[in-house]
Amino acid sequence: MNYSFLLESVWHPPLAFEEVAAHILPPELELQALWYSGAFGREFKLKDGRALRITQFGEWNHGAGPDFAHAAIEIDGSHFTGDIEIDSRTSDWESHGHSTNPAFANTILHVAFEPNLREMFVRTTDHRQVPELLISPTQLGDALRLPSRETAISIPGRCLQPLRKIPKLALERLLREAALRRASQKVARFLRITEAHGLDSALFQATAETLGYGGNSLPMKLLAQRAPISMLRTQADEAEAILLGTAGFLDAKFYLQAPEDTRDYLLNLWETWWKIRPNHEPVESRSPAWKTHGQRPANHPHRRVGGLSSLIREWSTFRRLAFANPFSIKSLTDFLHSLRHDFWSHHHTLTSNRSNTAISVFGKNLALELAANHLIPLALHENRFTYRDYHKQRHSAINQKIKRCGIRLFGSEEAAKPFQRRIAHQQAMLQLYHDFCLEDFSACEQCPFPEQLAQWR
């Protein structure tokens, strides 16, 4: 038995579980970020059956009008350039007033995720019909890595300790296959972004998303998309102002609340920002909500954006280490941990006082998260890293999700402890939890996972 067969035997044919409600659509900004990252691919079928290919995803529109400008598409071999609008529902084209808004006259594609109950035509102010693409729930679920059924809090059912009694060698093989499955899914996502925007952009988005860990992954991802690395590297002197300004942090309220030394820092950035602001600052409706409360000081979004800006001038070195052959986690983490910034090495936020001791702008734990979730999967895929090397890597940080997985899979924190220190084991447990234990129902007594797992050798 292998991992794929285990999945197939547990979930197909569908079990006699109660039906659950459809997944709620994510916020529109998240749907737009997924689309722009190439999460759904490039090749589609339009609602009318014609073949669609996205040749250029365009760029984020910072002002009014469609979400993405300067895009290019092919429909049945014919080329079109213009704007792309992403809406949650097909009916949003009318309800949002796009059909009567001249700013949408150059729209070449309307993308939606929920169909309208009645037939309608998407038209511009000059009555030109706009091609329509409907992303299916399956496509969205795959992009979001949703479980095949409704996610629920772990219920201590009869399979509470499915890994506890498996022989050690069989358990190691199961964890290895689960870790490699997770890596293959993660590298597929990375490669989709690479295919859509290039290798540097994929690395920049992955780094920003990692820095956003703790509630700000989406805003950081949007920031990396709206201020792409290709542009920041050509405008290195303005890059820090662009990042903090686009994030919405070069605001008068922060200046008024800031200590004296921070005001000097903000004034220097403002001298750059006010000149280029119209080219970068999104309208309020396109701005994500940053999570600032309940955060550890080191996780504050001010610091995370500052940490991202510190990478710009060191990008060539960072890129070389990220894609090195062979890939070295130690070299990468040592480099990131050594990064320094005149301001952010001594401040947690734009309103905090200066710290007398230096603060790492990119800590080793964050570097390990970047490696585990993005760079190791890519290195494994490209044969720049072996599973043997992967298995050796340890991670001192154990978050609540890892602890929850351990308790569910092994029955207790103590039983799970030997498998919580290696990065590969952590990723394997997360995958097992995602593939099986998040599929909980009140009828979990019928789940065949324990019986199928008993056959694992």
User: Would you state the pLDDT for residue 153?
Assistant: 39
Identify whether 188 is part of a domain. no
Identify whether 87 is part of a domain. yes
d(CA 149, CA 97): 35
d(CA 90, CA 59): 22
Give CA separation, 162 vs 157, 171, 416, 448, in Å. 10, 10, 12, 11
Are 381 and 327 spatial neighbours (Cβ–Cβ below 8 Å)?
no
Give CA separation, 455 vs 3, 449, 450, in Å. 12, 10, 9
Same domain membership, residue 387 and residue 247: yes
Same domain membership, residue 224 and residue 275: yes
Same domain membership, residue 293 and residue 159: no
Identify whether 8 is part of a domain. yes
- The domain total for the chain is 3
Residue entry with tokens 């936020």: 349
Same domain membership, residue 292 and residue 230: yes
Query: Would you write out the chain's pLDDT as a tens digit for each of its 457 residues?
Result: 677 777 766 666 554 444 444 568 999 999 999 999 999 999 999 999 999 999 999 999 988 899 999 999 999 999 999 999 999 999 999 999 999 999 999 999 999 999 987 777 899 999 999 999 999 999 999 998 876 554 433 444 555 567 777 888 989 999 999 999 999 999 999 999 999 999 999 999 999 999 998 789 999 999 999 999 999 999 999 999 999 999 999 988 889 999 998 999 999 999 999 999 999 999 888 888 899 887 788 889 999 999 999 999 999 999 999 999 999 999 999 999 999 999 999 999 999 999 999 999 998 999 999 999 999 999 999 999 999 999 999 987 788 888 888 888 888 888 889 999 999 999 999 998 888 776 444 445 556 566 666 666 5
Identify whether 368 is part of a domain. yes
Identify whether 221 is part of a domain. yes
User: Would you state the pLDDT for residue 445?
Assistant: 57
Instruction: For 267, list phi and psi in degrees, rounded to 5.
Output: -65, -40
Identify whether 186 is part of a domain. no
- Show Cβ contacts of residue 235 under 8 Å, excluding neighbours closer than 6 positions: 242
Same domain membership, residue 129 and residue 155: no
Residue entry with tokens 């702008």: 361
* Domain ranges, residue 9: 3-13+146-179+394-454
> What number of CA atoms fall less than 13 Å from residue 207's CA on the CB side?
29
User: Would you state the pLDDT for residue 155?
Assistant: 47
Q: Given phi > 0 = left and psi -120 to 50 = alpha, else beta, which region is 12? A: beta
- Using DSSP's 3-state secondary structure scheme, residue 410 falls into helix
Domain boundary, last residue among 391, 426, 444 = 391
Same domain membership, residue 429 and residue 350: no
Other Cβ atoms less than 10 A from the Cβ of 80: the count is: 13
Identify whether 18 is part of a domain. no
Same domain membership, residue 281 and residue 226: yes
Identify whether 432 is part of a domain. yes
Same domain membership, residue 414 and residue 404: yes
